[in-house]
Amino acid sequence: MSEWMPVVGLEIHAEILTKTKMFSNCPVVDSVSALPNTAVDPVSLGLPGTLPVINMEAVERAMMVGLALHCEIPPINQFARKSYFYPDLPKGYQISQYDRPLTVRGYLDIDLSDGTTKRIRVRRAHLEEDTGKLIHIDGGSLVDFNRAGVPLLEIVTEPDIHSAEEAEAFARKLRAILQYLGINDGDMSKGVMRIEPNISVKHKDDTGLRTRTEVKNLNSIRTVYRSIEYETARQIKAWENGDGVRQATMGWDEARGCTVIQRFKESAEEYRYFPEPDLPIIEVSPEWVARIRERLPELPDAKRDRFIGVGVTRYDASVLVADKLVADYYERAISTGATPKTVANWII
């Protein structure tokens, strides 16, 4: 047995597919096919004097994700300003949520390849707006504000993940749930879901947690896996040779296959969070939550259990439901009279 193991908490940003942006009626367009700066309006450009209006469809869809993750939805939630400067954020602040997030205290059960299941606690999921996108070209940078103001859900787990495989299983399952709910298509290469692993290592004699690093904005599950493996090895070495680990925000260098330090971590105080004065609080009644719950479709776990019921092994069933299109294909094949186990083997 190794003396060390990784400790990982994930922060995941998922765009919520809606017709219009989070705080205005500006249309949301496809980030890849649309021409830059064709879906902008005074609100998403942060022009002075504009006022935000809450997109309630985005709120309800975010609540659906919270319910799918077994979260509680507190009776009151509130937006907050998170101030920082960056060229893709023209207002100088992002409207986010801070101490009154939309959903809290949930969990997701993940299936591992050895046939076991593990529960990963979800700390919170809060709503915010996406930023614009910088495009770096020779001699300068361009900014595209089409994405500015797109509804974004940030999902934060507890540090319950103890291997790259567990992080991968969590990311795959969450992506599947988002697909099933129609929140987004799960295409990480388009940036609709971006993952930031917070990584530390734990020695078998440790009682508390050690300093972590955070790897920003990964856009594939493969890089989540690789960055955790890399950081774990790097941190173990740093503790063993006496250097220790300093809290930092890192990036992933795909060409070299390693993490690189971007900056030493800012703290919550530096963002000067305060309640967004231009928006009302949202009161959530139990009746409203019940109505949202009725909108939930069959989710991957329920579908998996139904597949197990027709004679597929638990692990095979979890593979089949991991991608909604594959699951739909499987069900169509079964409905034509094919033998469940044979079709499952063939697909897998």
Closest residue to ligand ADP, Cβ-based?
9
By CB under 6 A, the residues from 239 to 268 that bind ligand ADP are: 268
Q: Which residue's CB is nearer to ligand ADP, number 8 or number 171? A: 8
CA distances from 102 to 19, 76, 114, 119, 278 (A): 21, 8, 35, 22, 18
Interface pick for ligand ADP out of 55, 198, 232, 318 (rule CB under 6 A): 198
Do 94 and 132 contact (CB within 8 A), yes or no?
A: no
Interface pick for ligand ADP out of 156, 248, 289, 299 (rule CB under 6 A): 156
When asked if residue 159 is in the footprint of ligand ADP (CB under 6 A), the reply is yes
Minimum distance of ligand ADP from residue 79's CB (angstroms): 17
Interface pick for ligand ADP out of 9, 106, 132, 186 (rule CB under 6 A): 9
When asked if residue 212 is in the footprint of ligand ADP (CB under 6 A), the reply is yes
Minimum distance of ligand ADP from residue 36's CB (angstroms): 30
User: Near ligand ADP by CB under 6 A, which window of 107-115, 154-162, 293-301, 311-319?
Assistant: 154-162
CA distance linking residue 68 with residue 127, whole number of Å: 16
Minimum distance of ligand ADP from residue 171's CB (angstroms): 13
Interface pick for ligand ADP out of 158, 165, 185, 187 (rule CB under 6 A): 158
Minimum distance of ligand ADP from residue 342's CB (angstroms): 41
When asked if residue 97 is in the footprint of ligand ADP (CB under 6 A), the reply is no
Q: Which residue's CB is nearer to ligand ADP, number 81 or number 212? A: 212
Q: Which residue's CB is nearer to ligand ADP, number 184 or number 198? A: 198
When asked if residue 7 is in the footprint of ligand ADP (CB under 6 A), the reply is yes
When asked if residue 157 is in the footprint of ligand ADP (CB under 6 A), the reply is yes
Minimum distance of ligand ADP from residue 241's CB (angstroms): 20
Q: Which residue's CB is nearer to ligand ADP, number 19 or number 272? A: 272
Q: Summarize as ranges the residues that interact with ligand ADP (CB under 6 A).
A: 7-11, 156-159, 198-200, 209-210, 212, 268
